[in-house]
Amino acid sequence: MDQALQLVASLHNSAGEPVTLRDPFTFAVGNVINVLAFGYAWKIGDPEMLRFKTLFEEF
């Protein structure tokens, strides 16, 4: 539930500006998987999560 609240807060903070949904949803889904697998979540914008995302996209 915490991931959903963070996602909504992230979108709400866009203040009506256009926003790309890819990154917020990537963090939310990635964190749900990470919590289930390892028991912890990254903060939105965490450099380590961004590095994993970049490596995965290059793969």
Domain spans, the chain: 2-8+20-58
37 Cβ contact partners less than 8 Å away, ≥ 6 residues apart: none
Quote the pLDDT of residue 36: 93
Residue 5, pLDDT above cutoff 70:
yes
pTM, whole model, 2 decimals?
0.68
Distance CA 8, CA 58 (A): 28
Quote the pLDDT of residue 44: 77
Structure confidence by residue, pLDDT tens digits, 6-40: 778 877 887 778 888 888 888 888 888 989 999 98
Q: Are 32 and 4 in contact (CB under 8 A)?
A: no
Categorize the per-residue pLDDT at 1 as very low, low, confident or very high, splitting at 50, 70 and 90.
low
